[in-house]
Structure 1
Amino acid sequence: MSNYPMLDLFWTMLEFFLWLLWLFLLFKIISDIFRSHDMSGWGKAGWMILVILLPFIGVLAYVIVRGHSMGRRDQEQAEKADAAFKQYVREAAAPSGAGAGSGGAPSRADELVKLADLRASGALTEEEFQQAKTKLLA
């Protein structure tokens, strides 16, 4: 360790960290290329060739040209995952034989979801929501 000064250690760690950051960005861009629905197959192939053959220039060009739509696609994917999770929770919380799908009476979970939707739309105030929730859970 005496032949490797502290500043060299710092620069080595910084270079390693930046290399990992670049790899993360590279894989993020490759996954974004494949999940983009507004690009043709030839466009995807062109971006892949550019990103693979000229990685630093390709990644930088992709972020400049298509960076704004990357965020939008990430947000759409997160919203879809959130909606799927909420649907799963609704189905799992409903007792068997009850719920909207079976024709029986709606479950407490369904009623709570309806109340939360009414509160979110502004049809119910927070006080009205809390009162209705207390009555429902009693």
Structure 2
Amino acid sequence: MALASAEYPFLDLMGTMLVFFCWIAWFWLLFVAFGDLYRRTDVSGWAKAGWTVLVIVLPIIGVLLYLGTQGRHLVERQRAREVAARHQFDDYVRSVSTSDKTSAAQIAEARRLLEDGIIDDAEYRVLKQKALAR
């Protein structure tokens, strides 16, 4: 029985790991380039098609060319998308959380108005019924 190290030397193993790492890095660069390209609104459809064809026909050169020529503002575009998404989420949360008072808060406010003498008992009952009807 032969040892595994004799059949597959250490340098071959390191070479295989390097090739695998470069393969994974290539796909990562491909996703970054295509993700940025297709999210851009300042690039026409024909330009997007041209970049896609270039990356498919000349893969390594195409991705490196895209990152070299168009990647200068890649981080700013990504940051702007993140800020816009955060603002959209914050606006949504504000619209949902402050849309109306809860029924309990409305009843408590009506009770305070009753105790302060601002409204009478009949008006309190009407406000309470409206709050509970929701």
- Structures share fold, TM-score greater than 0.5: yes
Q: For residue 100 of structure 2, what is the aligned residue in structure 1?
A: 97
List, as ranges, runs of 4+ consecutive aligned residues in structure 1 with deviation greater than 6 Å: none
Q: Which runs of 5+ in 2 are unaligned?
A: 107-134
- TM-score (ref. length: structure 2): 0.65
Q: What's the counterpart of residue 101 of structure 1? A: none
**Matched residue, 1:81:** 85
More helix by share: 2
Higher relative contact order (CA 8 A, sep 6+): 2
**Deviations 1:65-109, CA, capped at 9 Å, x for gaps:** 0011222211111111221232343345x26623xxxxx9xxxxx
- Radius of gyration: which is bigger? 2
Q: Does 1:25 align with 2:23?
A: no
For 1:63-74, list aligned pairs within 5 A. Answer: 63-74=67-78
Deviation at 1:37, TM superposition (A): 1.2
Q: Which residue of 2 aligns with 1:62?
A: 66
Is there any run of 5+ residues in structure 1 with no aligned partner, and where? 99-103, 105-138
Shift of the alpha carbon at 1:13?
1.1
Distance (whole Å) between structure 1 residues aligned to residue 71 and residue 98 of structure 2: 45
Shift of 1:64: 0.6
Please give the TM-score of this superposition, normalised by the length of structure 1: 0.63
Aligned length: 99
Alignment RMSD, CA only?
Answer: 2.2
